[in-house]
């Protein structure tokens, strides 16, 4: 198992490195986030032993179940649609929530973070391609949303996240990444207090090299690292 994981990781790292080299960017500026949904804890720990540090889950229950089984120095991210009643289970476990997309969720994160006496770092999920099936703010909703939650003391906005539609040819979704980056730059120019456009979480197995070319600094990779997902 470990040899196969290492091959996968080597291949992903090579693609990341080649792309960044071409763009004149540094490897340490990009976080490889291993997406571990449906992957068992043994396999996740093996990947961590190979040097991956950041892992992402998309369901609160699955995260909570695996949490005690995963080696302690893992850095957890929450990348999926988050129900408000699940915030309490994950807030003290994850470094970054990638999927803030509505006011009710912002209120709940802020409340639970206040109770924990922490400031929670979040990314705003933007549905650039406006796919009906996906969550996320519309592009034009993003700035008004920011202005609604700017004074929430226990939330800190650290950037943007998007999921591109699946495309046989990932060139077709380059615009998604480009638009997210442009939106981030527009937000940056507003010079809001207590907000930083530090992270652009974009790119998955099928499209991460394109996303990196467009300025991604967190790539979320599942299949490319662990193989095809098996849903039980
Ligand atoms: C599953 C998932 C990924 C990883 O998808 P792969 O195509 O397997 O790399 C990335 N981001 C989110 C939000 C996901 O749910």
Could you list the residue range(s) of the whole structural domain that residue 25 is in?
2-222
The per-residue pLDDT for 232 is 65
Ligand 1 atom closest to Cα of residue 225: 9
Ligand 1 centroid distance, CA of 176 (Å): 16
Q: Does 227 fall in a domain?
A: no
CA 214, 175, 195: angle at the middle one, nearest 5?
60
Total domains in the chain come to 1
Q: For ligand 1, is residue 224 a contact (CB within 6 Å)?
A: yes
Ligand 1 atom closest to Cα of residue 98: 13
Ligand 1 atom closest to Cα of residue 37: 1
Q: Whose CA is nearest to atom 4 of ligand 1?
A: 222
Ligand 1 centroid distance, CA of 66 (Å): 18
Q: Helices 174-189 and 139-149 meet at what angle, rounded to 10? A: 30
Q: Does 231 fall in a domain?
A: no
Whether the CA torsion 158, 136, 171, 222 is positive or negative: it is positive
Q: Does 232 fall in a domain?
A: no
Q: Does 146 fall in a domain?
A: yes
DSSP the chain: -HHHHHHHHHHHHHHHHHHHHHHT--GGG-EEEEE-TT--HHHHHHHHHTT--EEEES-HHHHHHHGGGS-TT-EEEE-S---GGGHHHHTTT-SEEEEE-SHHHHHHHHHHHHHHT--EEEEEEB-TT--TTS-SB-HHHHHHHHHHHTT-TTEEEEEEE--PPP-SSGGGGHHHHHHHHHHHHHHHHTT-TTEEEEEEE---TTTHHHHHHTT-SEEEESHHHH-S----
Q: Does 99 fall in a domain?
A: yes
- CATH code, domain carrying 129: 3.20.20.10
pTM, entire model: 0.97
Q: Does 137 fall in a domain?
A: yes
The per-residue pLDDT for 231 is 77
The per-residue pLDDT for 133 is 87
Give residue-wise pLDDT tens across range 2-52: 999 999 999 999 999 999 999 999 999 999 999 999 999 999 999 999 999
The per-residue pLDDT for 123 is 98
Q: For ligand 1, is residue 222 a contact (CB within 6 Å)?
A: yes
The per-residue pLDDT for 1 is 86
Q: Does 230 fall in a domain?
A: no
Q: What is the pLDDT along the chain (232 residues), one digit of tens a residue?
A: 899 999 999 999 999 999 999 999 999 999 999 999 999 999 999 999 999 999 999 999 999 999 999 999 999 999 999 999 999 999 999 999 999 999 999 999 999 999 999 999 999 999 999 998 889 999 999 999 999 999 999 999 999 999 999 999 999 999 999 999 999 999 999 999 999 999 999 999 999 999 999 999 999 999 999 999 987 6
């Amino acid at each position: 198992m470990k040899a196969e994981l290492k091959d996968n990781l080597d291949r992903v790292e090579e693609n990341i490195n080649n792309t960044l080299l071409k763009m004149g960017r540094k490897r340490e500026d990009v976080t490889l986030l291993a997406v571990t949904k449906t992957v068992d804890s043994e396999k996740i720990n093996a990947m961590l032993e190979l040097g991956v540090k950041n892992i992402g889950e998309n369901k609160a229950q699955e995260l909570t179940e695996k949490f005690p089984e995963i080696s302690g120095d893992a850095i957890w991210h929450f990348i999926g649609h988050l129900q408000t009643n699940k915030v309490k289970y994950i807030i003290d476990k994850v470094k970054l929530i990638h999927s803030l997309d509505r006011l009710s969720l912002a209120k709940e994160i802020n409340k639970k973070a206040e109770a924990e006496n922490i400031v929670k770092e979040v990314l705003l999920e933007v549905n650039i391609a406006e796919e009906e099936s996906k969550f996320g703010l519309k592009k034009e909703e993003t700035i008004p949303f920011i202005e609604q939650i700017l004074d929430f003391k226990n939330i800190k906005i650290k950037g943007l996240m998007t999921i591109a539609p699946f495309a046989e040819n990932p060139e077709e979704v380059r615009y998604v990444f480009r638009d997210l980056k442009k939106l981030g730059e527009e937000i940056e120019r507003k010079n809001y207090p207590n907000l930083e456009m530090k992270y652009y979480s974009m790119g998955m197995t099928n499209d991460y090299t394109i996303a990196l070319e467009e300025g991604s600094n967190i790539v979320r990779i599942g299949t490319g690292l662990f193989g095809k997902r098996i849903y039980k």
